[in-house]
């Protein structure tokens, strides 16, 4: 058995393989991920106009799946998504999630009302399709907790809080609703002790790992382009939070991914 084959399979639950950062070497990026044991990836479309290009990447690569939605920072620039348009995408066998959607008041607070409308549209699409919602949340904890709670009470849906960096209160709300928290390379930064404590307080069966590549590379690549292979570096940093060795943590987070993203099993 080769060294790569002996590595425990791991999933990068959120990356952006259509971004220009990967244009010149996408096959090599996917190959490096596999060599690191990252056998599956979900590449995320952030503007629905780009959906055909993102879909093509998933179709071209074994182990690559995709999701689509309107990123909250793009809501003011893009046509408002419709439930019908989002649900229609679910017919594709490699379309596995709704989003990313959410709220970002850090850079785009002026579009807060539009973001909230868009978020509720994406939630309804997640409800109708049964696919997981992929949430981006930044500097909007109170509104995010309120909307997720209101909407879940109106009709259940599944959800992952992608690249979770919010506070403990939003983490608890999400977990109480049955949602998942996904850790990016930020959780591996030396000064992220408080964030790691939030993850450590969560049940292991609600944890995913991701890169958000090309952003947020974990050490020792911080400040450079991220790529799916580096999911393994974040996972290795987080495994001890639950008293686990890397292979056990990889197996646990992969099982969590399978449960939340059944179309990508």
Residues in a beta bridge with 45: 68
Place of tokens 């959800």: 159
* Mean pLDDT to the nearest integer, 169-194: 98
What does the alpha-carbon distance between residue 167 and residue 11 come to, in Å, rounded to a whole number?
25
Q: pTM for this one?
A: 0.95
Backbone angles phi, psi at 220, to 5 degrees: -95, 20
222 Rama sector, left if φ>0, alpha if ψ -120 to 50, beta otherwise: beta
For residue 3, the model assigns a pLDDT of 46
Closest-CA residue to 50 (of 80, 90, 7, 19): 19
Pairing of strands 38-45, 133-138: unpaired
* Mean pLDDT to the nearest integer, 15-21: 97
For residue 102, the model assigns a pLDDT of 98
Task: State percent of the chain over pLDDT 70.
Answer: 98
Q: Which 3 state secondary structure label does DSSP give 92?
A: coil
Q: Using the predicted structure, report yes or no on whether residue 58 has a pLDDT greater than 70.
A: yes
For residue 1, the model assigns a pLDDT of 30
Q: Using the predicted structure, report yes or no on whether residue 145 has a pLDDT greater than 60.
A: yes
For residue 2, the model assigns a pLDDT of 41
Q: Which CATH class is domain 3-264?
A: alpha beta
Q: Using the predicted structure, report yes or no on whether residue 74 has a pLDDT greater than 80.
A: yes
* Mean pLDDT to the nearest integer, 206-233: 97
What does the alpha-carbon distance between residue 106 and residue 110 come to, in Å, rounded to a whole number?
10
Query: Hey, where are the domains in the chain?
Result: 3-264
Q: Using the predicted structure, report yes or no on whether residue 5 has a pLDDT greater than 70.
A: no
Mean pLDDT of all residues in the chain? 96
Task: State percent of the chain over pLDDT 90.
Answer: 97
Quickly state the pLDDT bin for 7 (edges 50, 70, 90).
Answer: confident
What does the alpha-carbon distance between residue 125 and residue 99 come to, in Å, rounded to a whole number?
10
Least confident stretch, 1-15, 170-184, 248-262: 1-15
């Amino acid at each position: 058995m080769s060294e790569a084959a002996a590595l425990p399979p791991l999933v990068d639950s959120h990356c952006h393989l259509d971004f220009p950062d990967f244009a010149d070497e996408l096959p090599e990026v996917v190959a490096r991920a596999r060599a690191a044991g990252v056998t599956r990836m979900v590449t995320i479309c952030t503007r629905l106009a780009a959906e055909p290009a993102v879909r093509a990447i998933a179709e071209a690569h074994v182990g690559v799946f995709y999701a689509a939605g309107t990123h909250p920072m793009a809501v003011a620039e893009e046509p408002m998504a419709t439930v019908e348009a989002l649900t229609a995408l679910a017919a594709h066998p490699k379309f596995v999630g709704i989003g990313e959607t959410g709220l970002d008041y850090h850079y785009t607070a002026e579009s807060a009302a539009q973001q909230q409308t868009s978020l509720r549209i994406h939630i309804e699409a997640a409800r109708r399709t049964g696919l997981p919602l992929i949430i981006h949340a930044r500097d909007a904890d109170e509104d995010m907790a309120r909307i997720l709670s209101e909407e879940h009470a109106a009709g259940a849906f599944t959800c992952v809080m992608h690249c979770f960096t919010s506070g403990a209160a939003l983490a608890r709300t999400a977990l109480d609703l049955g949602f998942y928290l996904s850790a990016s390379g930020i959780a591996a930064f030396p000064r992220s002790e408080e964030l790691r404590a939030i993850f450590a307080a969560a049940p292991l069966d609600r944890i995913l790992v991701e890169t958000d590549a090309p952003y947020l590379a974990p050490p020792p690549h911080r400040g450079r382009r991220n790529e799916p292979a580096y999911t393994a570096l974040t996972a290795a940093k987080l495994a001890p939070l639950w008293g686990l060795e890397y292979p056990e943590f990889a197996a646990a987070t992969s099982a969590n991914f399978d449960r939340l993203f059944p179309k990508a099993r």
